[in-house]
Amino acid sequence: MKYNINWNGSDGVFAVPDLAADCLRLASGKAVKLLLYILKNKSSEETLAEIGKAVGITEEDAEDAISYWQQVGVILGGNTSTSETSVQAITVSKTDSAAKPSAEISTPRAKEKAAKMISPSEISERLDSSEEIRFLFSAAETTLGKVLTYTEQRTIIWIHDYYGTAPDMLLMIMDFAVSQNKASIGFIEKIASQWHENGIVTHEQAEREILRMQNYYSLAGQVSARLELNRTLTPTEQKFIKEWSAKSINIELILYAYEKTVDNIGKVKFSYMNTILNDWYNKGMFTPADVKKYETSSSETHAAALSKKQSKSQSDEHSYNLELLVEHALNTVPKIK
């Protein structure tokens, strides 16, 4: 079918590099929108955040789009920081590959990042040659409910290759991420890294780990809501909650420990709460009712011991029997000489 362009509503045209047209296969719709905007507004001084807003995409998507076009060599130069990059800082080139970093990569983290920088042409080759990667991309888009961005594509391949994560295991991680409203590629990569480090490679291990994570995130959400923290939990607080979750300490007992903490020191302090909870846990107390029963029993035992001590103290005040002395006085008639 032949399509005709309506030029009547336009004041002019702008050029699109052949290379950009050749790289449309892996470009997301958001990436195309951003590139067209940049090509049309070459003299603009807008930042990536402003460009993203202008075309209806997020700052993160704008960064991803710029990264894609840089990788294929359509865009050269410019800092991809959303707060600094402007359209004027970006130039269009017909080179067929992205510029290579001039500085030698020395740190392990930098080498890892470099290994992750798979080019769009390499992704295309993997899609053509690997049925497993094609399946993984298709299933990932279904699970995440979206078309994969270039950053997501290269990260998924990197997780598959670098960690050796099987497609079904990676999809389990994605499904968990979606269930927790954390379906970002960064979160997915973080979980995959943890599984790799902990040797989680079987379905049984994965299911146990997902259950553990579900319990932790559920408890963390309850703690934040019930304690009205209204902020992100600190790493130390997360560590304590993971320990409580592993011990199956429920939110009601945590709230009771919170009340005790505030009563004793006047503020929320997780380390203090943790000391209280560990003491209760080690004594076999798992509910507020258990603690209250123990406290009542301890109070009664203490009162009885105190009463006994007081009675003994009173009896020890005299070395004689006062009642016998009185009786002797009443029954004894004094002799008068």
Of 83, 53, 81, nearest to 67 (Cα)?
Answer: 81
Separation CA 6–CA 2 (nearest Å): 13
* Residue (of 153, 65, 74) closest to 54 by Cα position: 65
What pLDDT score was predicted for residue 102? 38
Question: Is the separation of the CB atoms in 72 and 120 below 8 Å?
Answer: yes
Contact between 193 and 171 under an 8 Å Cβ cutoff? The reply is no
C-alpha–C-alpha distance, residues 67 and 117, integer Å: 10
pLDDT for the residue 112:
57
Radius of gyration of the chain (CA): 36
User: How many other CB atoms are there within 10 angstroms of residue 84's CB atom?
Assistant: 11
Distance CA 30, CA 167 (A): 26
pLDDT on residue 330: 60
Bridge partners, 92 (sequence order): 75
Position 203, amino acid: H
Q: Are 19 and 27 in contact (CB under 8 A)?
A: no
Q: Which residues pair with 89 in a beta bridge?
A: none
CA nearest to 120, candidates 215, 19, 240, 3: 19
Q: 328 is written with which tokens?
A: 């002797």
Segment 273-282 long-range contacts (CB within 8 Å, at least 24 positions apart): 273/240, 274/240, 274/243, 274/244, 277/244, 277/249, 277/253, 280/253, 281/247, 281/249
What is the H or E stretch that residue 92 is in? strand 91-92
Per-residue pLDDT of the chain (337 residues; tens, 9 = 90+): 778 877 776 777 888 888 888 788 778 888 888 888 888 887 677 888 888 888 898 888 888 888 888 878 888 865 544 444 555 555 554 444 343 443 443 455 555 555 667 888 889 999 999 999 999 999 999 999 999 988 899 999 999 999 999 999 999 999 999 999 999 999 999 999 999 999 999 999 999 999 999 999 999 999 999 999 988 899 999 999 999 999 999 999 999 999 999 999 999 899 999 999 999 999 999 999 999 999 888 776 655 566 566 655 555 555 556 566 556 566 665 555 5
Span 167-226, pLDDT tens digits:
999 999 999 999 999 999 999 999 999 999 999 999 999 999 999 999 999 999 999 999
